[in-house]
Amino acid sequence: MKMTLELAEQGRGWTSPNPMVGAVIVKDGTVVGKGFHQAAGSPHAEINALNDAGAKAGGATLYVSLEPCNHTGRTQPCTQAILRGGIKRVVAGMKDPNPRVTGGGLEFLKSQGLDVSVGVCEDACHRLNEVFIKYVTTSLPFVILKCAATLDGRIATSTGDSKWITNSLSRQFAHEVRHSVDAVMVGIGTVLKDNPRLTTRLKGRKGSDPIRIVLDTHLSIPPDANLLQLTSDSDTLIVTGSSAPTEKRRILEKPGVRFLVLEDHDGQIDLTVLVKELGRMGITSLLIEGGSRINGSALRSGIVDKIYIFYAPKICGGDGVPVCVGPGVGLMEQSISVRDVSVRRFEDDVMIEGYLSDYSNLSRT
């Protein structure tokens, strides 16, 4: 099962809105077939493993990280291919959490005489597909907040300088995260200060560009901003308020640039409303890379599921831009709790990873 998880990881960044899935076929103690889901619309992991095994699949055991599908979508049911391949035993890491999928793949296979079991390496299987689990059970994107700070909690100096807080290894990991999500979001302040591109740049291989989202209530983005000049497979989505000038919108309209108009309150977009709209648009995961204002708003609104906070061995001292601004809690016991915390080092940088929600375990209830 650990091998299926390693295989499934190879699909990260390419399978959305589908889950990442790996499959291994074992016969007489020997692996005879391996496969993973490579991209949405392409054959599922089980099919690739069966094709790899060929005639050796007869009488073998199929290990798969997620329950095989028993419905027709963009591809045919994997359960039928499993029966045709002569598989006699199926071991699944976890059940399919999608409530809209008809048919239970494991129950069907069991009814056809196969030996079936589920729940091997279940925690790891849930963690692998935490994005998929949240989206199919709530229709909301899984939201990750990422920021880099000095040891005294500053994301920029008193002059606004932030290049670079972390080292190149930390920044490369940040691009891996961009590659894995459907969309990345910043505020207009970040655009005006840094003029980012928000594309994915991976060493030695092609990455997937996320949809670039800018919160810009009053349409202050300059027409020559880098985000509006890109050649990319994904679009730039400008989220603006209902009071934004329509003439400015006409100036900005061009191929690859879309607009989402939402009601604003005191110049602010309600982020809970925004994530619902993004879910309706089919966006399953969102990475927030905004400044301190968006960080604070996102945390206060309760939309954040997971954090990546990088700390570099630097101290600004005195004034500087904090991680969050805006109203905070009055008592320490009212602070937002971060669970399942893990720590990772990138040379001298330290990354804190943790969860504010528990959607990776939701399908068990």
Distances (CA, A) of 224 to 191, 228, 246, 334: 11, 7, 18, 43
Q: What is the pLDDT of residues 187-229, one digit of tens each?
A: 999 999 999 999 999 988 989 999 999 999 999 999 999 999 9
Residues 219, 223, 227, 230, CA torsion sign: positive
Place of tokens 């940088």: 349
* Cα(277)–Cα(25) distance, integer angstroms: 41
Which residue positions in the chain have pLDDT lower than 70?
Answer: 73, 101-103, 359-365
Put simply, whether the predicted model's pTM sits higher than 0.85 gets the answer yes
- Which residue of the set 6, 46, 130, 253 is catalytic? 46
pLDDT of amino acid 364: 43
Q: Answer yes or no: are the C-beta atoms of 259 and 238 closer than 8 Å.
A: yes
pLDDT of amino acid 365: 38
pLDDT of amino acid 363: 42
Q: Answer yes or no: are the C-beta atoms of 301 and 329 closer than 8 Å.
A: no
pLDDT of amino acid 268: 86
Centre a 10 Å sphere on the Cβ of residue 182 and count the other Cβ atoms it contains.
Answer: 23
User: Is residue 67 annotated as part of the catalytic site, yes or no?
Assistant: no
* Cα(288)–Cα(55) distance, integer angstroms: 48
pLDDT of amino acid 233: 87
